[in-house]
């Protein structure tokens, strides 16, 4: 019996390792697309090549849609009491948040990538904090912790907007903050729907979240291309 349990444990660890290796490989592929789009600056300030900008947009879209996917997966699995599924979603969600931060490193440098990764993992943590507060009291929620989590989301959105606008003058702070504010509100509405097991409302929230996250990631890509047109020839 002990040998069987040991073998089962080793198998589970092996599966987890393989999954993590696949995730890291996928992240590296996405980031490599960004790197491939960034060549040494050209002397010409011609408009960026639309095909190169499209490559950057697709790379960022892939990262950002995975963010809302893993958050949704975590929230639903937690609500249904599936700890194994919630653990997997949380692991991948955190890795994805880090990858989003690091995605700007090929353009702005490693230090900037690490700073953005810290800020975006802070966003992810704030969303998790709201979920915990909303699911408290037998899923009826706890008002004070919910407000604290929202305040944390708002502060994080302001911090990200300040960081992005300082790095790129084509991305004004108020515009970035507005995009992040809507994004955070969508997280909150989805979590509240799941807490109530209002699956219709939760399902209806998905398409708007996808469209908005694409708007956000495309805005970042356009801003980068406008700032460094010679790198996208």
3-state class (DSSP) for residue 89 = helix
Going from N- to C-terminal start, the domains of the chain cover: 27-231
Give CA–CA dist 168/144, Å, rounded. 36
| Largest CA-CA distance found in the chain, in angstroms, rounded | 71
CB-based contacts of 152, cutoff 8 Å, min separation 6:
126, 129
Neighbours of 24 (CB within 10 A): 12
pLDDT at 10: 43
pLDDT at 46: 81
pLDDT at 44: 46
pLDDT tens across the length of the chain (233 residues): 444 443 444 444 444 444 444 444 444 444 444 444 444 443 446 899 999 999 999 999 999 999 999 999 999 999 999 999 999 999 999 999 999 999 999 999 999 999 999 999 999 999 999 999 999 999 999 999 999 999 999 999 999 999 999 999 999 999 999 999 999 999 999 999 999 999 999 999 999 999 999 999 999 999 999 999 988 98
pTM for the structure as a whole: 0.82
Q: Which two tokens stand for residue 62?
A: 């892939």
């Amino acid at each position: 019996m002990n040998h069987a349990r040991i073998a089962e444990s080793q198998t589970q660890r092996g599966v987890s390792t393989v999954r993590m290796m696949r995730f890291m490989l996928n992240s590296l592929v996405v980031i490599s697309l960004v790197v491939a789009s960034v060549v040494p600056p050209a002397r010409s300030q011609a408009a960026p090549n639309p095909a190169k900008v499209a490559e950057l947009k697709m790379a960022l879209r892939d990262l950002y849609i995975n963010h809302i996917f893993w958050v949704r997966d975590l929230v639903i699995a937690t609500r249904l009491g599936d700890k194994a599924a919630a653990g997997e979603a949380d692991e991948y969600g955190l890795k994805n948040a880090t990858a989003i931060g690091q995605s700007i490193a090929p353009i702005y440098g490693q230090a900037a990538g690490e700073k953005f990764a810290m800020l975006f993992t802070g966003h992810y943590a704030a969303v998790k904090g709201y979920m915990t507060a909303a699911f408290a009291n037998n899923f009826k929620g706890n008002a004070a912790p919910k407000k604290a989590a929202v305040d944390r989301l708002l502060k994080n959105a302001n911090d990200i907007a300040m960081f992005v606008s300082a790095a790129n003058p084509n991305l004004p702070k108020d515009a970035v903050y507005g995009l992040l504010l809507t994004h955070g509100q969508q997280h909150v509405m989805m979590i509240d729907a799941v807490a109530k097991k209002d699956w219709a409302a939760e399902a209806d929230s998905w398409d708007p979240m996808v469209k908005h996250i694409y708007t956000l990631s495309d805005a970042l890509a356009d801003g980068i291309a406008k700032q460094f047109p010679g790198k996208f020839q």
